[in-house]
A and B are shown apart, each in its own frame.
Chain A
Amino acid sequence: MPDFARAQLRRQRINFALFLGPALVLLAVFFVAPVIIDVVLAFTDMGRTLAVGKFTLENFERMVTRDTRLLGALGITFIFVVTTLGVFNVTFALLLALVTTAVPQRLGAFFRAVWLLPRMSPSVVYALLWLWVVDPNERGLLNQIVVHVFDMPPIDLRNNHPLLVIILANGFIGASLGMLIFTSAIRSIPEHLFHAARVDGAGSLAIVRHVTLPALRWPISYMTIHQSLSLLVSFEYILLITGGGPFYDTTVFSLYAYRRAFESGEYAYGAALSLILVVIGVVAALALWRLMDMKRLLQPPRIEVH
């Protein structure tokens, strides 16, 4: 091999290590390693002392034969993910994007910023605000309205409708991401299409239906997949607001796994439960990918519009 070719190859390798290296290390340490550790742990008997005594299938046997809470946790997770996603993270986000792009630009930007505020505040602060909103006493924000405006007795949402509380809390914060993505997608629709539609006599709703929505197909598909996976594993606000309760009413699967691992000290069992969550996540992602025909999104465009 001539010298310059060898030098070029070396340079390529150095560039590869330089540019892709950090990303690969990051992936390996934070994404690949935890999955491998989780898989290994799931087949051990690691308990409170973190000691591994033997490799075993007992965790999975327990899941199938003894764990009476498992199905309940799965059911709650399903309701939580589908409702939060369907009502807030996609539909409400879309509504926000449509409305804030229809009003004058500055006003739209202002409202989007308001909706982004919860994202900017620390989760504990956001959760504390919710705790105050749904406080069962008359001092709670919601109850101040219920009691003084509607003249009704105070309500206790956290105890009587805990699932609703966690869906609202997750939804209001979750809608902002979709709002941003959809807004930028709407902005990228060529202006002349709107003018043309107007000339053809289309009303505002018809424009949304026939011009805007078709252009949002891919962003909506992407948000659906991304947010369902994200909701599947998130329990931060649930832990802070209801603690998974009352009883097990808001214990979603990921929180259930966390509880078993870190509150009962059954680390191996928690790892086995998390492994199930990984499997559910992968299956859901593949199914949605197929269902929404995401493959087409990644194909090179056949026509280029200038």
Chain B
Amino acid sequence: MNWKHARSGMVAGLLLCAATASALADDVVIKVWSRADRSGPLRAGNIVAAGDTLNKMLAAAGSEKRVKIELNETNAKGYDDDALDLLKAFAVDKGPDIFVLAHEWTGAFAEAGYAQNLEDHISKNPELYGDIIVPLWQSVSYKGARYGVPQDSEVRMYFLNNDKLRKLGKTDKEIAALPAKVDAGEFTAYDLCDLAGQAVQKGVVKYGILHRPNAGPDFQMLMESFGLVPYDKDAAKLQASKAALKDFFTWVKYCVDKKALSATNTSMSWDAIEQASFGKEEALVFFHGVWRVTDQTKAWNLKGKDDYQRKITWINAPAGKKGGKPTNLSHPIAYAVSAKSKNKELAAYIVALASQPIPNMRHSVTTNHTPINYGGQSMPEVVDKGWALVAATPMLKYASFMPNHPKIGQYNAVIFKGIQGVETGRLTAQAAADFVADELGNELGKDVVIKN
């Protein structure tokens, strides 16, 4: 190559760089971090759509500026793992501007200085946030301030397979009466394991009850049935009572002995659990949340509410003792804005756009998560396609949230290990209670109070 060619090449390159730079100068890049989740692709999708909406407004205003949403969908296996990865990303200054998180992590991100305090922004924009269901704000509040915006909410339940119950000799009338019996405290957690155990022993199903195979929020409602309250609000500390732990694990052991719980549950993959619960119908009871209605409807090709209710019955987590109260848990997912972002204000407005009733309703009806807006609940599409959400809402009467404590993820992981220990026959009820009490003290130190 001669010098002339080289020089003209260099000039062309510089011009190209300059042109690209000037084109990019008007783009504001907003980075979004979201866990790739089959049960909610629109969590991130609505942020991208909000960017498009904003760009249309900018174009209409004759502005050259554009917002470019850069989406990073991670493959963490759960929200706890994802939060740990995100904390690491922030620590090395690679954090996003907007992130999706399970609400109980709000405290951890606020404490670390990564989640922006949105109190000011929310109170200055009532026309954008005024329709959000008030109690949901509690789930993203930490030390009296809001650090996030709820993205969805849900109801958790045991799904009972009616066909299998019929095979077990239950009449339609008995099946229909079950949810009310649970709510009245007549049908207890022990009764549920008797029923599920019977189904296994009679060969009607392979598994009595199938639950999630990893640590997660589900188990909190089961523990609450036995009086185990994980959080002391006044002391702002996590807590566990040895007596309640013993009661809870005595029940788990009872269910294992009755063959209602399987030793392999915690080593199964989600796919295997879904196949056993839906496709192959190998389980009498599946324990998860209302968004699973989408999978069930698909698996059994069910047409609408009546068809679904012929196949499946929902119950709250029954009380531990006769006459006790059932329990439920709502576990909102939330949006948060990075406190380290250079475009905090813009990012917050994008979150506001994504949280409006229409986009949020789309997430609700496609994935069966309850909407976050009062308006969303009455939209024709929710009433029509989201019948399950309307039907499940009364169950929220018994719902609590997870405590917004930075270490609740670790707390849940320890409880899960205890359950796994009992289910796989490694621990007795007493040993599991001791293990959990020890391990909580060991891992959480001063953040937990172990009571007798």
Contact assessment for A265 and B84 in the assembled complex, using a CB-CB cutoff below 8 Å: yes
Contact assessment for B267 and A158 in the assembled complex, using a CB-CB cutoff below 8 Å: yes
Shortest distance from the beta carbon of B307 to any chain A beta carbon, whole Å: 31
DSSP class of B's interface residues: helix, strand, loop or mixed? helix
Interface stretch (choices B149-157, B360-368, B437-445): B437-445
Indicate if A264 sits at the interface (CB-CB under 8 A): yes
Contact assessment for B267 and A246 in the assembled complex, using a CB-CB cutoff below 8 Å: yes
Q: From B92, B112, B420, give the contact of A246 (CB < 8 A).
A: B420
Contact assessment for A68 and B438 in the assembled complex, using a CB-CB cutoff below 8 Å: yes
Complex Cα–Cα for A265 and B108 (A)? 12
CB neighbours of B90 from chain A (8 A):
49
Contact assessment for B92 and A50 in the assembled complex, using a CB-CB cutoff below 8 Å: yes
Q: From B410, B424, B438, give the contact of A247 (CB < 8 A).
A: B424
Q: Mark A46-90, 1 if CB is under 8 A from B, else 0.
A: 001111000000000010001111000000000000000000000
Q: Please name the residue on chain B nearest to A264 by beta carbon.
A: B410
Indicate if A245 sits at the interface (CB-CB under 8 A): yes
CB neighbours of A158 from chain B (8 A):
267
Q: Please name the residue on chain B nearest to A58 by beta carbon.
A: B445
Q: From A67, A247, A248, A263, give the contact of B442 (CB < 8 A).
A: A67
DSSP class of A's interface residues: helix, strand, loop or mixed? loop
Indicate if B302 sits at the interface (CB-CB under 8 A): no
A150-180 CB contacts (< 8 Å) to partner B: 156, 158-159
Complex Cα–Cα for A245 and B91 (A)? 31
CB neighbours of A262 from chain B (8 A):
84
Contact assessment for B424 and A246 in the assembled complex, using a CB-CB cutoff below 8 Å: yes
Q: Please name the residue on chain B nearest to A269 by beta carbon.
A: B443
Shortest distance from the beta carbon of A249 to any chain B beta carbon, whole Å: 7
Complex Cα–Cα for A242 and B84 (A)? 22
B51-99 CB contacts (< 8 Å) to partner A: 81, 84, 87-88, 90-92
Complex Cα–Cα for A266 and B90 (A)? 16
Q: From A66, A159, A263, A266, give the contact of B264 (CB < 8 A).
A: A159
Among A48, A69, A243, residue most surrounded by chain B Cβ atoms (within 10 Å): A48
CB neighbours of A281 from chain B (8 A):
none
Indicate if A219 sits at the interface (CB-CB under 8 A): no
Complex Cα–Cα for A62 and B441 (A)? 10
Indicate if A136 sits at the interface (CB-CB under 8 A): yes
Complex Cα–Cα for A251 and B91 (A)? 29
CB neighbours of A263 from chain B (8 A):
81, 84, 413
Contact assessment for B108 and A48 in the assembled complex, using a CB-CB cutoff below 8 Å: yes
Q: Please name the residue on chain A nearest to B443 by beta carbon.
A: A264
Complex Cα–Cα for A62 and B81 (A)? 24
Q: Mark A85-126, 1 if CB is under 8 A from B, else 0.
A: 000000000000000000000000000000000000000000
Contact assessment for A245 and B108 in the assembled complex, using a CB-CB cutoff below 8 Å: no
CB neighbours of B424 from chain A (8 A):
159, 245-247
Contact assessment for B441 and A66 in the assembled complex, using a CB-CB cutoff below 8 Å: yes
Among A158, A243, A245, residue most surrounded by chain B Cβ atoms (within 10 Å): A245
Chain A, interface residues (CB within 8 Å), range:
20 to 34
Complex Cα–Cα for A14 and B25 (A)? 48
Shortest distance from the beta carbon of B79 to any chain A beta carbon, whole Å: 14
Complex Cα–Cα for A200 and B262 (A)? 65
CB neighbours of B108 from chain A (8 A):
48
Complex Cα–Cα for A265 and B266 (A)? 22
Q: Please name the residue on chain B nearest to A49 by beta carbon.
A: B112
CB neighbours of B439 from chain A (8 A):
68-69
Complex Cα–Cα for A264 and B413 (A)? 9
Indicate if B204 sits at the interface (CB-CB under 8 A): no
Beyond A247-B417, A263-B413, is A159–B91 a contact (Cβ under 8 Å)?
no
Q: Mark A251-283, 1 if CB is under 8 A from B, else 0.
A: 000000000001111100000000000000000
Contact assessment for B441 and A246 in the assembled complex, using a CB-CB cutoff below 8 Å: no
Complex Cα–Cα for A67 and B91 (A)? 28
Indicate if B263 sits at the interface (CB-CB under 8 A): yes
CB neighbours of A159 from chain B (8 A):
263-264, 267, 424
Q: Mark B183-214, 1 if CB is under 8 A from A, else 0.
A: 00000000000000000000000000000000
Shortest distance from the beta carbon of A130 to any chain B beta carbon, whole Å: 13
CB neighbours of B310 from chain A (8 A):
none
Contact assessment for A265 and B87 in the assembled complex, using a CB-CB cutoff below 8 Å: yes
Contact assessment for A156 and B264 in the assembled complex, using a CB-CB cutoff below 8 Å: yes
CB neighbours of B92 from chain A (8 A):
50
Indicate if B358 sits at the interface (CB-CB under 8 A): no
Indicate if B426 sits at the interface (CB-CB under 8 A): yes
Complex Cα–Cα for A264 and B81 (A)? 9
Shortest distance from the beta carbon of B219 to any chain A beta carbon, whole Å: 16
Complex Cα–Cα for A62 and B417 (A)? 20
Shortest distance from the beta carbon of B421 to any chain A beta carbon, whole Å: 5
Complex Cα–Cα for A140 and B81 (A)? 30
Contact assessment for A246 and B442 in the assembled complex, using a CB-CB cutoff below 8 Å: no
CB neighbours of B420 from chain A (8 A):
245-247
Q: From A62, A68, A69, A247, give the contact of B426 (CB < 8 A).
A: A247
Complex Cα–Cα for A69 and B436 (A)? 12
Indicate if B128 sits at the interface (CB-CB under 8 A): no
Contact assessment for A66 and B442 in the assembled complex, using a CB-CB cutoff below 8 Å: yes
Contact assessment for B87 and A49 in the assembled complex, using a CB-CB cutoff below 8 Å: yes
Beyond A247-B417, A264-B410, is A50–B267 a contact (Cβ under 8 Å)?
no
Indicate if B427 sits at the interface (CB-CB under 8 A): yes
CB neighbours of B426 from chain A (8 A):
246-249
Q: Mark B407-422, 1 if CB is under 8 A from A, else 0.
A: 0001001000100110
Shortest distance from the beta carbon of A287 to any chain B beta carbon, whole Å: 31
CB neighbours of A264 from chain B (8 A):
410, 413, 443
Contact assessment for B87 and A48 in the assembled complex, using a CB-CB cutoff below 8 Å: yes
Beyond A49-B91, A156-B264, A159-B264, is A247–B421 a contact (Cβ under 8 Å)?
yes
Shortest distance from the beta carbon of A111 to any chain B beta carbon, whole Å: 34
Complex Cα–Cα for A51 and B420 (A)? 32
Shortest distance from the beta carbon of A212 to any chain B beta carbon, whole Å: 44
Complex Cα–Cα for A51 and B87 (A)? 10
CB neighbours of A248 from chain B (8 A):
417, 426
Shortest distance from the beta carbon of B107 to any chain A beta carbon, whole Å: 12
Shortest distance from the beta carbon of B115 to any chain A beta carbon, whole Å: 12
CB neighbours of B267 from chain A (8 A):
158-159, 242-243, 245-246
Complex Cα–Cα for A159 and B263 (A)? 8
Beyond A246-B426, A249-B426, is A48–B84 a contact (Cβ under 8 Å)?
yes
CB neighbours of B84 from chain A (8 A):
48, 262-263, 265
Complex Cα–Cα for A163 and B88 (A)? 33
Q: Would you list 15 pairs from A and B whose C-beta atoms are within 8 A, ordered by A residue?
A: A48-B84, A48-B87, A62-B442, A66-B438, A66-B441, A68-B438, A68-B442, A69-B439, A159-B424, A243-B267, A245-B420, A245-B424, A246-B426, A263-B81, A264-B443
Other A-B pairs beyond A50-B87, A69-B442, A247-B420, 8, CB < 8 Å: A50-B88, A51-B112, A66-B442, A68-B438, A242-B267, A243-B267, A263-B413, A265-B410
